[in-house]
Amino acid sequence: MRSFPFRYHGQLLNISVVSVDEGWELWILDGDRRLGYGGRVSVDLAIESWRRGEDCVQVLAEEVKSQVLTGRLVLDPKMPQQVLPGATSAAASG
């Protein structure tokens, strides 16, 4: 799974890219715990940007990181948890 780590208030978080039908979703994670939804990139948009030599997933991840760091995207530690496709979860097994 592709991810983009960053520090927020001294804590190491990840923006993880999860494949879904017809695209990818970006989730802000603390370990395996979801803290926020970062957005979605469609397959069509990813292919179009790739043809221009761009990486729209990375661009969106950087925007999400910026929004978290500036407080425009508020993280929710009480977000309902579900196991993300492709993720291993110690919390789900324990």
The verdict on residue 38 lying in a domain is yes
Q: Is the pTM of this model over 0.85?
A: no
Q: What pLDDT was estimated at residue 73? A: 93
Instruction: Return d(Cα 84, Cα 49) in angstroms, integer.
Output: 26
Backbone angles phi, psi at 34, to 5 degrees: -75, 135
Mean pLDDT per block of 10 residues along the chain (94 residues) reads 93 96 96 94 96 97 97 85 53 37
The verdict on residue 81 lying in a domain is no
Q: What pLDDT was estimated at residue 78? A: 77
Contacts of residue 44, defined as CB under 8 A and 6 or more positions apart, other chains included, come to none
Total domain count for the chain?
Answer: 1
The verdict on residue 55 lying in a domain is yes
Domain that holds residue 60: 3-76
Q: What pLDDT was estimated at residue 93? A: 36
The verdict on residue 93 lying in a domain is no
The verdict on residue 41 lying in a domain is yes
Virtual torsion, Cα 55, 60, 66, 69, nearest 10 deg: -120
